[in-house]
Structure 1
């Protein structure tokens, strides 16, 4: 981008050097300059896109996984989902992850929400789908992914978020999007 096309409040990136490059993340340090001329280094984490699914049954309960997250050292409830493989269609990824992690197969999938969880540091598209119908496959949930599954009443979602039982950005954003859509009569 040329200096003439830049907006006055836009940051300038003078370069970016890779610190670590793995299959699931690229950590780099960007040399950035603010509009007022202050220059500093900013960590940047580039992560593959992720897709998640809210499976909502006829009783308005959401299929969630109880799991331990070692980074924050807490047990939490999460939506099933995971990273997209290279060139994988997000809806295919979302359905695959649900089946692998829970033993349930979504029958329908509709786009619900897309967001970036931490735009100041992390570059990762998150795509959330809504499924209103799923069937058990007979498969067992992956022990590496979940301690147990639960059908959480949608009416308890906000309370569980407030209580810190649901803390992941994708799970929180997805559940709040469903609650908003429901309140506005869209679902």
Structure 2
């Protein structure tokens, strides 16, 4: 997943329905790494495919284990500073809406239960702790 920040410290978030929990939530763009693909390149590709924005830079933000008691599945989160709109429309199946939301508002959305995905929660709090 990638936390894309613009010059106003706003994060690029997607509003999407998650069928497993049957809820609409806000989260970061992200996805899977293709065979032999560089992880940072995959993260940037997923941002562009899901949002129509191309990150200007990619930097590792944090790696975490979401469920160390039941599986070994490290999750990597990148931070991108700045992005350019490509003009390419994102896949309609990816998100209902895409918005730039301030980090402080995103933290309030976590408190209200609008952001619940572990990677997005970790990224927002990590960025705020670093003063990103």
What range describes the TM-score normalised by the shorter chain of this pair? Answer: over 0.9
Partner of 2:51: 102
Larger Rg: 1
Which structure has more relative contact order (CA 8 Å, sep 6+)? It is 2
Are 2:62 and 1:113 aligned? Answer: yes
Q: In 2, Cα distance between the equivalents of 1:75 and 1:113?
A: 25
Q: In 2, Cα distance between the equivalents of 1:90 and 1:125?
A: 12
When normalised by structure 1's length, the TM-score is 0.68
* Runs of 4+ with deviation above 3 angstroms: none
Structure 1 portions without partners, runs of 5+: 1-51
Q: In 1, Cα distance between the equivalents of 2:36 and 2:70?
A: 24
Q: How large is the RMSD of aligned CA atoms in angstroms?
A: 0.9
Equivalent residues in 2 for 1:47-66, closer than 5 Å: 52-66=1-15
Offset at residue 123 of structure 1 (A): 2.4
Offset at residue 177 of structure 1 (A): 0.4
Question: 1:120-174 deviations in whole A, cap 9, x for unaligned?
Answer: 1232221111111110010112111111101111111221111110111110101
Q: In 1, Cα distance between the equivalents of 2:46 and 2:126?
A: 20
When normalised by structure 2's length, the TM-score is 0.96
Query: 1 or 2, which has the higher strand percentage?
Result: 1
Q: In 2, Cα distance between the equivalents of 1:157 and 1:90?
A: 25
Give the count of matched residue pairs: 132
Partner of 2:38: 89
Structure 2 portions without partners, runs of 5+: none
Query: 1 or 2, which has the higher helix percentage?
Result: 2
Are 2:18 and 1:72 aligned? Answer: no
Offset at residue 83 of structure 1 (A): 1.3
Q: In 1, Cα distance between the equivalents of 2:115 and 2:72?
A: 22
